[in-house]
């Protein structure tokens, strides 16, 4: 879909909000990411935060250091430069192990079936049926085979929102629970609408629950190798590849986490929106090959 000119609006004296579309799309997201990266590379005095989101981004600045109109002029200039260029970002791809249909989310969903559209099936069974998959195994394969990108991080500390890198017609879509649960296990892989998420902490939630990952994604103690630089794993623009695992592998990862030796496979990659749109499946294969060093 074509993305028109961005809409700029001031938020008080210290923020500018830049919106590309009211509808989530790969084009809108990557335009925001490309502009965010271009602005960050300028290292302008007075710009303190750049926060990408699903189809927008927000800039925080110090008006005593840089005039608000000057910030606006710079953002509009970046947009003009980006409009004639391929939308490409430098990012990384991260492999996240998932125990689908685990006992903890299964126990939880059974406690809250009166809040679900279909009290007689599990969340995985319901999601497979409404997306026209023949079986849960086929659904898990579709969920895990194509990568997802992190469109934003927030709501609670370290929680990523993920949008799958597939053609729009192949997007997995599942409604949220009719009423939110009061409990969701930590590190649950959830799904609502077209978005997946990973619950970074235990708490309330309304997304369908498909499984859990053993991998901590938010850790203030920063005890694991991949969290040494920052307590939150994910950043907007990261690409995630889910990897189905069995219970024995899950338990083995827990022992590694306890010992402080567990690590995640991740690799730096360049992502070109035009190359992806030209051949989504082929481009995804190159991303997965980059992850595994082929």
Q: What confidence tens digit (pLDDT) does each residue in 228-274 have?
A: 999 999 998 999 999 999 999 999 999 999 999 999 999 999 999 88
Kindly report, residue by residue over 185-240, the tens digit of the pLDDT. 999 999 999 999 999 999 999 999 999 999 999 999 999 999 999 999 999 899 99
Q: Which fold has domain 7-85?
A: Gyrase A; domain 2 (3.30.1360)
For residues 146 and 280, what is the distance between their CA atoms, to the nearest angstrom? 9
Residue 1 pLDDT exceeds 60: no
Residue 143 pLDDT exceeds 60: yes
The count of C-alpha atoms lying within 13 angstroms of the C-alpha of 263, restricted to the half-sphere facing its C-beta, is 7
User: Where do the domains of the chain lie?
Assistant: 7-85, 91-291
Return the bridge partners of 49, or none.
Answer: 60
Q: Which fold has domain 91-291?
A: Cyclophilin (2.40.100)
Kindly report, residue by residue over 147-156, the tens digit of the pLDDT. 999 988 988 8
Q: Is residue 74 a contact partner of residue 44, using CB atoms and an 8 Å limit?
A: yes
Nearest by Cα to 29 from 57, 51, 8, 54: 54
Sheet strand arrangement including 15-19? 7-11, 15-19, 56-61, 47-52
Q: Looking at residue 294, what is its pLDDT?
A: 54
């Amino acid at each position: 879909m074509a993305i028109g000119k961005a809409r700029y609006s001031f938020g008080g004296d210290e923020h500018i909000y830049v919106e590309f579309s009211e509808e989530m799309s790969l084009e809108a997201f990557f335009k925001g990411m490309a502009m965010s990266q271009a602005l960050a590379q300028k290292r302008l005095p007075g710009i303190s935060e750049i926060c990408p989101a699903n189809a927008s981004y927000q800039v925080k600045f110090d008006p005593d250091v840089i005039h608000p109109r000057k910030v606006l002029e710079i953002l509009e200039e970046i947009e003009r430069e980006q409009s004639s260029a391929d939308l490409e970002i430098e990012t990384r791809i991260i492999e996240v192990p998932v125990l689908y249909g685990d006992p903890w989310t299964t126990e939880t969903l059974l406690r809250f079936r009166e809040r679900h559209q279909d009290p007689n099936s599990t969340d995985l069974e319901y999601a497979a049926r409404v997306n026209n998959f023949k079986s849960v195994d086929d659904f898990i394969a579709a969920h895990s085979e194509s990568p997802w990108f992190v469109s934003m991080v927030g709501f609670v500390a370290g929680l990523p929102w993920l949008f799958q890198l597939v053609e729009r017609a192949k997007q997995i879509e599942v409604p949220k629970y009719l009423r939110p649960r009061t409990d969701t296990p930590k590190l649950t892989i959830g799904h609502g609408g077209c978005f997946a998420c990973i619950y970074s902490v235990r708490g309330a939630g309304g997304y369908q629950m498909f499984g859990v990952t053993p991998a901590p994604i938010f850790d203030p103690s920063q005890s694991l190798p991949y969290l040494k630089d920052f307590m939150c794993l994910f950043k907007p623009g990261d690409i995630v590849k889910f990897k189905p695992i069995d219970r024995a592998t899950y338990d083995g990862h827990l022992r590694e986490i306890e010992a402080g030796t567990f690590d995640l496979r991740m690799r730096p990659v360049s992502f070109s929106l035009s190359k992806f749109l030209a051949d989504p499946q082929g481009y995804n294969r190159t991303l997965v090959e980059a992850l595994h060093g082929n």
